[in-house]
Amino acid sequence: MTGPDRDQVPNQADFGYRRVPLADKQTLVDDVFRSVARRYDLMNDLMSFGLHRAWKDALVTALDPPKSRSFALLDIAGGTGDVAFRTLKAGGPDTRATVADINAEMLAVGRERAAAAGLADAVTFVEANAESLPFPDKSFDAAAVAFGIRNVPRIDVALGEAFRVLKIGGKFLCLEFSHVDMPGLDRLYELYSFNVIPALGRAVVGDADSYRYLVESIRRFPRREEFSAMLRGAGFGRVACRTLSGGIVALHSGWRL
């Protein structure tokens, strides 16, 4: 079952290919990221052959942080801070970033990385659930979420929260794995995802299951058109989407108008 039919079962959510009680999904997701936090960045490089850096750069280019005025970014499900750091480097001296993530272990790695990069004064780490952000209405110039939204149990609620905390005229960007639509690449990607990635997880982190979840959760994420409709449903205007790397990843955008 995919798409709307799945959603007709109330109070359930996908956890990879398993259906679990909605209330249990967050705990299962938290276990995954607690387990991988220390090796998370290394695994991203290994799994994507470094491509995740180019995908995040595409997000930051679209964000286009100004050089000569203040700019406040909220990096939702920001984990170890990659998007925040890249935005700070691309923006001017008055750029600030807040990394909000539900997982203390991921945030701890992020704080260490910020200190090592000399960015500690420009970035704040906040332990928070994307479904109930602890920030006032209209408080950020932009909000972004990279590879995070598919982990959130109630995506529509999280999108509503992102909309709420954006200033009028603020931009929302969402980078997420998508569906490969290039003949040939799709088969190769499938084989790589289900065979190589869990094996890499076992070898590098000692945890194949977390990486199996990662692969399965990508397959369960809504298709691009469906996700664009969810963005419109949350209130965003001028919703757009472009694919990267043959559809492996999609960069969704919308504005609070």
Q: List interacting residues with ligand SAM (CB under 6 A).
A: 26, 29, 33, 77-79, 82-83, 101-103, 106, 129-131, 146-148, 151-152
Q: Where are the alpha helices (DSSP H) in 92-148?
A: 104-116
Q: Name which of 147 and 236 has its Cβ closer to ligand SAM.
A: 147
Other beta carbons within 10 angstroms of residue 18's beta carbon come to 14
Q: How far is the CB of 183 from ligand SAM (least distance, A)?
A: 28
Least distance (Å) between residue 81 CB and ligand SAM: 8
Taking the complex as a whole, the smallest distance from the CB of residue 236 to ligand SAM amounts, in Å, to: 19
Can you tell me the distance from the alpha carbon of 41 to that of 149, in angstroms, rounded to the nearest whole number? 18
The residue among 45 and 226 lying less far from ligand SAM, judged by its C-beta, is: 45
Question: Shortest gap between Cβ of 184 and ligand SAM (angstroms)?
Answer: 27
State the burial class of residue 146 (Cβ atoms within 10 Å of its Cβ: 0-12, 13-18, 19+): buried
93 vs 150 by CB, closer to ligand SAM: 150
Cα separations in angstroms, 126 against 74, 132, 156: 10, 12, 21
Residue 68 CB, shortest distance to ligand SAM, in Å, is 27
Instruction: Report whether 134 contacts 125 (CB < 8 A).
Output: no
Is the CB of 102 or the CB of 122 nearer to ligand SAM? 102
Give the tokens for residue 194: 């289900």
Name the residue number minimizing CB distance to ligand SAM: 79
